[in-house]
Amino acid sequence: MGKHDSSEPAVLLQDLDYFTGSDLKTETTMKDNLGNTQYNCFYVKSATNVYKLNGQYTKMSGTLFQLYDYRSKSSYESTVEIYGDGKLLYTATVSGGIEPIDFSVDLTGVLELTVKTGRSTQWGENSGGLHCGLYT
């Protein structure tokens, strides 16, 4: 109990139990399209996961990026959409030539979080990555 004062997330998205959806394929580290190491990541694949937050979290932050091996593939797109209680709160898309995108989304009072991830249908599921955690 008490306030979370750390710069580390209270929970990583892939460690949070989903209400509906599927498990996220995770990796400890991934190399983004700039050659930087990203930590505690999961692959961006086509999925829609719903999480029951019950107002317990105030923020979701992370980084959406293209994997290093796909850095020059401009037609390979990875997208994330974040909804709070059915309202679109954030969306972003990366592809070859777009630097990793850091984001922070206010989740204050959100009861149900929906995270939709998608990728181009012309390539494999391992072309985009997402690092993301929830904070109290």
Structure tokens at 100: 């990793």
Q: How high does pLDDT run on average in the chain? A: 84
- What is residue 35's DSSP assignment? S
Report if residue 19 sits inside a domain. yes
Average of per-residue pLDDT across 80-103: 93
Find the domain containing 115 and state its range. 11-135
- Tell me the CATH number at 101: 2.60.120.1060
Q: Band the pLDDT of 91: cuts 50, 70, 90.
A: very high
Least confident interval from 4-8, 16-20, 38-42, 85-89: 4-8
Report if residue 24 sits inside a domain. yes
- Find tokens 């989903």 and name the residue: 18
End-to-end CA distance of the chain: 11
Report if residue 72 sits inside a domain. yes
Report if residue 103 sits inside a domain. yes
Tell me how many domains the chain contains: 1
Average of per-residue pLDDT across 104-123: 85
DSSP lists the bridge partners of residue 62 as: 103, 132
Report if residue 38 sits inside a domain. yes
CA distances from 127 to 44, 52, 76, 118, 130 (A): 7, 28, 7, 11, 11
